[in-house]
Amino acid sequence: MTNILIPTDFSANALHALNYANFLFKNEECTFYILNAFQTGASNLENLRNIQKNTKLFKANKEASQRNLKELLHVIHAENNNRQHAYKTIAKADSLLNAIGKSSIELQISYIFMGTRGASGLKSVFMGSNTAAVISKIDFCPIVAVPSDYNFNIPRTILFTTGFEHVYDKYELNPMLLLAKLWDSKIQILHLLDTTKIIEHKETAKKVISKRLKNVDYEIIEIEKKGKIATEINKRAEHNENIGMVAIIDYWHSFIEKITHEPVVKTIAFSTKIPLLVMHLPK
């Protein structure tokens, strides 16, 4: 059983992310938890006081959240008849980050799916900057950011970028491996060569990652880095129609960002035209 969390503000972006998750896991037994976080005060403290006092504002906001979730559930059931999929709703009086964090732990969430406005919009910005904040702060659960203008396609290839600075344990790659096995996807490992830097343990890291991916189709591609990392990644993804997802591990990009001062994860998520899987390493 796979548990998937879908935060929603009842926007088309959030529904699009849910529909993509339905598509991706259509042959798997899943429970989708649809979460709406609402607040009744300008601060977390004020919000908590309103909850404890059971104020009229708290009651009204809670009823509105539950009502909207019920209506959304009707829409979902009307459009999805997959017997392997179950849907549950959560109305939580808390900040979005707190609600997602607590729900992810309590419900043993496997993936969080969130919508973005997509790269072709007037501005490459996140849905209320919520997705950016979640990617940045929720570092214990894989996150899939889905552009609102993305037309669902089978991810025949998943583009995974790494600098080979880290020797991965198998469990660290499991979120990507599970998605690859859903559709028998190929994993294309992209290493952007920087001739100005020497990477210790690179060959060891390459051998280990080859071992970790032995049960899936994969290839390692090394090309010279000619521009910004995020630009190179997006360019390769756009030029290969088989690539249906970009996967990154935040550890590597955080390391790179310290050297290049380039916000790689944020830039990719701002500009990507295909779904982005962000994984994190334990700190």
In order of their start, the domains of the chain are 2-147 (3.40.50.620), 157-279 (3.40.50.620)
Residue 66 CB partners (closer than 8 Å, separation 6+): 89, 91
Report pLDDT digits (tens) over 221-252. 988 777 777 777 878 887 888 999 999 887 64
Q: How confident is the model at residue 119 (pLDDT cuts 50, 70, 90)?
A: very low
Rank 143-152, 200-209, 256-265 by mean pLDDT and report only the highest. Answer: 143-152
CA-based torsion, 227, 229, 230, 232: positive or negative: positive
Beta strands in 62-213 (DSSP E): 85-93, 111-116, 143-147, 157-161, 186-193
pLDDT at residue 282 is higher than 70: no
Q: How far apart are the first and last CA of the chain?
A: 27
Report pLDDT digits (tens) over 13-60. 899 999 999 999 999 999 999 999 988 766 666 667 666 667 888 888
The strand pair at 85-93 and 2-7 is best described as: unpaired
Average pLDDT of every residue of the chain: 83
User: What pTM does this model have?
Assistant: 0.88
Report pLDDT digits (tens) over 164-194. 877 888 788 999 999 999 999 999 999 877 6
